[in-house]
Structure 1
Amino acid sequence: MRSTLLTLTAGFIALPALASAQTTAPASSAPTTAPATGTASAPGTTTAPQAAPAAPAAAPAPATPAATTTIVQALPSVPAHTTLVRLITAAKLDAQLGGPGPFTLFAPNDDAFARLPAGTLDTLLAPANVASLTTILKNHVVAGAITSDQLKAQIAAGGGTATLNTLSGQPLVATIDNGSILLTDAVGNKSYIDKPADLREANGVIHSTNGISLPKLG
């Protein structure tokens, strides 16, 4: 048991440098501007301006129906998050994340877990390490439903940083990097909120991330 936990801890000590080197800000596309069009007038002539056609009345936007699924019910249908679903089930956190909440889940995608050292997932899934797995997963959950716009507002109000208290008892520090929300965990590991973000469920919000947020273990 002791050797297994030491192996687990050693794997996570090595992870921050690995994930930081491979976790990058999501690419953003530059806005495109339509070229201006018009008709040139002959020199010495004056062309009367033409009135723009009246814009049709905008139809009222349809109301967005309230979500009826919980975070844990919706997560299996979010692309590229099968590993997280498997870990949540193994840690028996599905009951909590299916409760009233509300919660904000920063959900690492499958690529984030694929960058873990070989054998780490098997170690996490061992029955003897359920407590460590639960702590790691809770390090991705914050009480309250926080959208990306709300989180950006918190960062601005905090002078460039916002500290989020996770259910693990350890913080995540949110900042803005090149227009994207960057999360830094207690061991210095970094991840970005990726797409999809702001998936609003009946008991909270899911944000996909491209890295794993680790707590201090042991």
Structure 2
Amino acid sequence: MFHKAFATAAAATLLAGAAHAQDVPMVGGAPMYPNMTIVENAVNSADHTTLIAAVQTAGLVETLAGEGPFTVFAPTNDAFAALPEGAVEALLQPANRERLTQILTCHVIGAEAFSDAIMGMIADDGGAHPVETLGGCTFTARMQNGMITIEDEQGRIATVTQADVDQSNGVIHVIDTVLLPPAS
């Protein structure tokens, strides 16, 4: 009887674990575990290698691995590739670390904001909600064709292509465009 009860409990545990594993979102071919930090998960995403290299170059790994909470609008490799030719390489140069840090921190909010909350703020503000970032940028969140968009201060518009990737220290929203601070 004990063995049968143990086997039943073990099977239930395995099924629950499998069901939980199915709930873990995939980003860039890698599971994004909600008990891991933004950095611990993002380093495994094949779609965010440029972002991770930039975060490392800017010295922001420790910050984004910190307690948070943070909301990160995470541009994909394709988003970085769409910048003018040579822009990413130039930003990764030590002389441009301050500008790189500003660009990256303009993708981070010092609070946890899931898509339902963002959509609610957009609706409450008549269709356009200001988003203040840790980098000192004020972007505008809107809804467009049922998707959340973020417009930077240069008029560039990023679409959230994957929302609500829960992390232990915040949430990631994957975006298709690199957002930029005002032109200086």
Gaps of 5+ in 1: 1-61
Identity percentage over the alignment?
38
Q: Which residue of 2 aligns with 1:208?
A: 174
Q: Which amino acid aligns with 2:146?
A: G
Structure with the larger RCO, 1 or 2 (CA within 8 Å, 6+ apart): 1
Structure number with higher strand proportion: 2
Q: Which of 104, 123, 133 in structure 2 is aligned with 1:156?
A: 123
RMSD of aligned C-alpha atoms? Answer: 1.9
Displaced runs of 4 or more, over 6 A: 62-66
Higher helix share: 2
Q: 2:114 aligns with which of 147, 159, 166?
A: 147
Q: Which amino acid aligns with 1:214?
A: L
Q: Is the 8 A contact 1:194 1:207 kept in 2?
A: yes
Q: Provide the rounded CA distance (Å) in 1 between the counterparts of 2:46 and 2:131.
A: 26
Paired residues in the alignment total 157
Which structure has the larger Rg?
A: 1
What is the TM-score when the length of structure 2 is the normalising length?
Answer: 0.80
Q: Which residue of 2 aligns with 1:83?
A: 50
Tell me the TM-score normalised to structure 1 length.
0.68
Contact 1:132–1:217 (CA<8 Å) still a contact in 2? no
Q: CA deviation at 1:68?
A: 2.0
Per-residue CA deviations over 1:100-149 (Å, capped at 9, x if unaligned) read 11000000011111111211111101111000000000010001111111
Asked if the contact 2:113/2:171 (under 8 Å) is kept, the reply is yes
Q: CA deviation at 1:182?
A: 0.9
Q: Which runs of no fewer than 5 residues in structure 2 stay unpaired?
A: 1-18, 25-32
SS of the counterpart of 1:67? coil
